[in-house]
Amino acid sequence: MKSAGDRNAGLSIIEREELGTLIDVLGARGYQVIGPVVSDGAIVYDRIASLADLPEGLTDEQDGGRYRLKQRDDRALFGYVVGPHSWKKYLHPPRIRLFRAECAENGLRIIDEEQPQEKFAFIGARSCELHAIAIQDRVLLDGVYPDAVYRARRENLFVVAVNCGTAGGTCFCTSMNTGPKATTGYDLALTEIPDPDNHRFLVEPGTALGAEILGALSSREATPDDETIAEQSIARAVEQMENNTRRMDATGIRELLLDNLEHARWDDVAQRCLTCANCTMVCPTCFCTTVEDTTDLTGDHAERWRRWDSCFTQDFSYIHGGSVRVSPMSRYRQWMTHKLATWIDQFGVSGCVGCGRCITWCPVGIDITEEIRAIRGQINGCKA
């Protein structure tokens, strides 16, 4: 915690309209600026050109299998939580060509795919999402074979985080220690103060580059009042989650799951699971991919494409003779034990950031936190 003496160190205030300048400044520095926009009744991530592109005065109502946008009674620009998209669609693209091949006279020729160095600026990344990016960094960059596609998109990334002032209906980041206040992984962190008379943002630089960009905006030093209001809004989000029954007790969760690979609850959840793979598509940390090899009609040119894959498909575990995970039970178990247990063995952290997307976007509203409570024996009638 900061002491009273250095409360204001590094904290500034920018007016609402100055956020538009931030977008301009980043654009002028060659960044593709990406932020939340409304599309088909949901808030998704897309290119933004100005402040007018951001969703204004909107919030989202989320529950298991349910998502609705609603009007707020203010002009808040970040008055909602996370939608069906995550930033992984930019850093770990859903579909990408890995190489081209030719059948030349002197044999096979493989033509590498140049990975252009992308320069993305993400506006409005939430704390849980910064943790998700840090997790994908471990998966895709920290191993023996760093992923060139990811690296070319990740290296120049500029992040403007937004601290959450409201918790969504399916949020449980406090359970996973991943939010709602951004603590790491950003260049600038904003806390929105959507006061109708004085709509402003508290800004905290996280890197030297962030401070430099902030210097290009017109700002003033934050007052203790500004800080208190900002802290209160984050505290409100925490309180909303603490009052929510949707919490996940993560203590000993690895052992809990690995010791219960044959628990009756897996059959119970399999009765509800449609194996549609939505949870893996919306999850900001799910990284699995498959490859597709194609040829053109002449048969002289071939390509290899990589695309997101899901452990919920039967094809995912196919080996000669059939799939290893035929039953929906085994596929749900694979996903959840990987996410919450074996991920820790593999990468030293949980694969879950508590963003709640898998709950909201599950067509039948399966709730990962409820499944954990059931395996812990905290839900009556579901004991093994």
Partner 1 sequence: MLPVPHRIERVRRETRDTFTLELAPVSGAAIFSPGQFNMLYVFGAGESAISISGHPGRPEKLVHTVRAVGVVTRAMRKLKRGDSIGVRGPFGAPWPVDLSEGRDVVLVTGGIGLAPLRPVIYHVLANRNKYGKLVLLYGARTPADRLYTREFERWRRRPDTYIDSTVDAAGRDWTGNVGVVTRLIPRADFDAANAIVMICGPEIMMRYTVAEMQKRGVSLDRIFVSMERNMKCAVVACGHCQYGPHFLCSDGPVLRFDRIAGLFGKREI
Q: Which stretches of the chain bind partner 1, using CB under 8 A?
A: 99, 101, 103, 107-110, 112, 139-140, 143-145, 147, 258, 261-262, 287-291, 293-295, 299, 302, 309, 311, 316-321, 324-327, 329-330, 333-334, 338, 341-342, 345-346
Of 18 and 347, which CB lies nearer to partner 1 in the complex structure? 347
Of 265 and 333, which CB lies nearer to partner 1 in the complex structure? 333
Residue 151 CA to residue 141 CA, distance in Å, equals 7
DSSP 207-229: SHHHHHHHHTS--EEPPHHHHHH
Of 217 and 358, which CB lies nearer to partner 1 in the complex structure? 358
CB of 225 vs partner 1, minimal distance in Å = 49
Phi, psi at 90, each rounded to 5°: -90, -40
CB of 289 vs partner 1, minimal distance in Å = 5
Residue 107 CA to residue 347 CA, distance in Å, equals 40
CB of 327 vs partner 1, minimal distance in Å = 6
Q: Which residue has the tokens 């991943």?
A: 178
Of 232 and 294, which CB lies nearer to partner 1 in the complex structure? 294
Q: Tell how strand 95-104 and strand 301-308 pair up.
A: antiparallel
CB of 334 vs partner 1, minimal distance in Å = 8
Q: What is the amino acid identity at position 138?
A: R
User: Residue 65: CA atoms inside 13 Å, Cβ hemisphere, count?
Assistant: 9
Residue 123 CA to residue 36 CA, distance in Å, equals 8
Count H helices and E strands in the chain, helices first.
Answer: 14, 16
Of 233 and 289, which CB lies nearer to partner 1 in the complex structure? 289
CB of 80 vs partner 1, minimal distance in Å = 30
Of 62 and 136, which CB lies nearer to partner 1 in the complex structure? 136
Of 235 and 324, which CB lies nearer to partner 1 in the complex structure? 324
Of 90 and 308, which CB lies nearer to partner 1 in the complex structure? 308
DSSP 324-369: S--SHHHHHHHHHHIIIIIHHHHHSS-S-----HHHHT-TT---HH
Give start and end residues of each alpha helix (H) in 262-307.
Answer: 264-272, 278-282
Of 25 and 269, which CB lies nearer to partner 1 in the complex structure? 269
Q: What is the amino acid identity at position 193?
A: I
Residue 94 has a CB neighbour count (10 Å cut-off) of 12
- 3-class DSSP string for 6-40: HCCCCCEEEECCHHHHHHHHHHHCCCEEEEEEEEC
CB of 141 vs partner 1, minimal distance in Å = 10
What residues have CB less than 8 Å from 2, skipping those under 6 apart? 9
CB of 194 vs partner 1, minimal distance in Å = 41
Indicate the DSSP class of residue 53.
G
Of 16 and 263, which CB lies nearer to partner 1 in the complex structure? 263
CB of 39 vs partner 1, minimal distance in Å = 29
Residue 12 CA to residue 14 CA, distance in Å, equals 7
CB of 258 vs partner 1, minimal distance in Å = 7
CB of 93 vs partner 1, minimal distance in Å = 14
Asked whether 219 and 13 are in contact (CB, 8 A), the reply is: yes
